Chain A
């Protein structure tokens, strides 16, 4: 293997045998043995996976849940053996893929530090030397003699992270660390990643958080259903990823629309999302695009002063991001007679930050006590490519810093 290669994975395959009824007792094993027909389903977790990671690379593995990316990471870590193919590792690899492995709730924080340290290969003497630094970094000095079960989850993560970053190895494996912890902790993680990147550390990073992937990874692969479907520069891989996600979303949207009960009076049709030049948006748009959404409302029966409106939702956020309707804008809908068609056009705010959004058009009665028609997630789209990922609304660069 060439010297500049850190990890070389060649035609890797992994299948999991999932028994229909898990064969965990001798009785069932005996019965099945006699029948000679062990019934199990083979789940192809990884198939024909080949890639190389160069030394000093920050390498991303992207994929939806259940795509096989964590299986791949576990195989790199040596936790699962391959069914076929080879993994060549050039250098020392972190043996863990998760923070706080082996943490025991019944032990004190201090005892857990030593136990976790031992799992990473540190002797008690070595741990004593770095113990104070670990505790200081985790900011939990006063809790170290308490049992771990009395810690908040944030404290546990901070402690685990502080120990993990002490592990010295040539290649780091990191799986979704950023999914936990508060904003302050995530900033610490980011700082740590920046340091790693600056130091030229080889890192394999598995995530579906496109923000951090885009920020840190030079190269990436996209895994879907156990095979690599895209590889190369992180940006292009992520674009590919968006398309995979959107395809899934669209199918779901259609299913939802088909499943919605039909009402007799009003129908919403022709919902479109377009950019400033009138091109229809299929899935993803770059940040800063001026988006306009349009839909028709057709009345099959007369309705007295209906309210037509739209709500914009963001994935994972419980309250609307943006909402407006004919009533708040003081627009008259008195002409909603049988056969009448309205077109409703709304321009969305341009400061929407990177993320996944849903459009929900609706028609309600005059008093807004019920909906004639409402389509949740009538259209989903992705905004991508902004450089500040801290908030939903992208701040304008108008903030000023002055000497006082």
Chain B
């Protein structure tokens, strides 16, 4: 029996990221990047927000929020480039740019959430 292609792994990350993005990003985006800047809701002060973010469970939540959706983007965008721009022949470069980008973003998230 042949081993299934490793594409299965990237699709798995895409799906996990898709679920996280679907459930969490709308409310997070709405609160922090629309409602607070427009004054529709009272934005938390720097001190209260940073003490919230420093809680271990919140650090983990934020790490998941900032890493899995990036892998969701990487996989989806990679295939959109293949099909939308017909550049499948550049597959090696696209692979590195997309998943590489997701890895870099995840690393930055990890550093920030470790030291904040």
Q: Do A and B come from one complex?
A: no
